[in-house]
Amino acid sequence: MDEKSKTICDGQDKHTLNNSPIVGIVTQLSDGKKKEHGQEFIAASYIKFIESAGARVVPIVLQQSEEHYEQMFNSINGLLLPGGDPDLLESEVARVSKIFYKLAIKANDEGDVFPIWGTCWGFQFLMCIACNKDILVSTPDRRLSRKLIFQPGYEQSKLFRMSVASEEIVKILSKDAVAFNNHKDGVTPEVFKKYGLEEFYQILTTNHDENGEEYISMLEAHKYPFYGSQWHPEVTSFEFSSRFGPHLKHSLNAVRASQYMANFFVNEARKNHHCFKDEGEERAALIYNHTPVYTGDFVGYAQCYFFKTPSTL
């Protein structure tokens, strides 16, 4: 792919939105019974979350070469880093995420908009990679929904400025406990400041864990289209298992808040004009080539996509 096609494909105008965006989602290594179905997986709720906002999805499988990921980066329009529990700096998931993160930094510096959204593990990764250190501390909040505590300056943020987010969305998130959390660790504002992350990120919201400890629950980068939530907006509309506990909300307000996050991120991906070299390559990469498996009887997720990929390393 030549230099021009990295940022704009034939027939597309870089000054208009790309209304056929494709978002990559990084896989996680399977564990437990999930191993019986494939080496890697993506919970289907992440895929539905992106599709609900009008984008398509490409799975970013592990154990591939850096050249493969560079080609994939130049073919997709944004990246979602999902939840999980791999090592934040040394795991294979982290290796792959680092490659995309560095490519996104370079691309955005050159005016080629490439957004990243991190959820739970992905949210934590975005902070840890920015200071190249695992800075997590214990902030347990297991299967609990919270009201977001908005921080000063949030109304000037890209994610929540009033020209983008309606007053009603902010009201829902601040007055109704619709942000579903399920994590054992997080980043406190004190740790965030200790490692100088305020120079890179703006804290948008915080919450308090089961023990009353304050942790960061949403942020965005000052300079880059990087966004993150410690909570899980993708589960609200698509997960109903009792394994998530009784606090997962499916109310109209909860769905509206979740859908806002999907719409915002996908609209950021519309600003990118990367594309596959031809229609056949695009079709071969899309999630439609894979069939979800019902997993509700052994994990919380109703469905997962599984992948068995030979290493090219």
Q: What is the pLDDT of residues 157-201, one digit of tens each?
A: 999 998 888 899 999 999 999 999 999 999 999 999 999 999 999
Q: Over 60: is that where the pLDDT of 154 sits? A: yes
Q: How confident is the model at residue 15 (pLDDT cuts 50, 70, 90)?
A: confident
Answer whether residue 38 is part of any domain: yes
> Phi/psi of residue 96, each to 5°?
-65, -45
Give the separation between CA 181 and CA 103, rounded to whole angstroms.
Answer: 30
- Give the pLDDT of residue 9: 66
From 232, 273, 275, 304, active-site residue: 232
Number of independent structural domains in the chain: 1
Answer whether residue 289 is part of any domain: yes
Domain containing 119 equals 13-307
- Cβ–Cβ under 8 Å, residues 198 and 204: no
Answer whether residue 1 is part of any domain: no
Q: How confident is the model at residue 5 (pLDDT cuts 50, 70, 90)?
A: very low
H-helix segments, the chain: 3-7, 44-51, 66-73, 92-109, 121-131, 167-175, 189-194, 235-238, 252-269, 279-285
Tens-digit pLDDT profile for residues 108-131: 999 999 999 999 999 999 999 999
Answer whether residue 8 is part of any domain: no
Answer whether residue 3 is part of any domain: no
Q: What CATH number did the domain enclosing 229 receive?
A: 3.40.50.880
- Give the pLDDT of residue 196: 97
Answer whether residue 95 is part of any domain: yes
- Give the pLDDT of residue 6: 45
Q: Using the structure block, give the residue that is written with the tokens 């599984």.
A: 306
The average pLDDT across 87-104 equals: 97
Give the separation between CA 20 and CA 109, rounded to whole angstroms.
Answer: 24
Q: Over 70: is that where the pLDDT of 10 sits? A: no
Structure token digits, residue 153: 């300056």
Give the separation between CA 175 and CA 166, rounded to whole angstroms.
Answer: 14
Answer whether residue 313 is part of any domain: no
- Give the pLDDT of residue 2: 44
Cα of first residue to Cα of last residue in the chain, in angstroms, is 22
User: Is residue 120 among the annotated active site residues?
Assistant: yes
Q: Over 50: is that where the pLDDT of 1 sits? A: no
- Give the pLDDT of residue 117: 98
Give the separation between CA 269 and CA 279, rounded to whole angstroms.
Answer: 19
- Cβ–Cβ under 8 Å, residues 55 and 21: yes
- Give the pLDDT of residue 132: 96
The average pLDDT across 59-65 equals: 97
Q: Over 70: is that where the pLDDT of 149 sits? A: yes
pTM: 0.95
- Give the pLDDT of residue 11: 54
**Residue 200's Cα: distance from chain center in Å?**
18
Give the separation between CA 146 and CA 217, rounded to whole angstroms.
Answer: 10
* Angle at CA of residue 229, ends 203 and 200, nearest 5°: 40
Answer whether residue 259 is part of any domain: yes
- Give the pLDDT of residue 7: 46
- Give the pLDDT of residue 13: 64
From 120, 128, 275, 304, active-site residue: 120
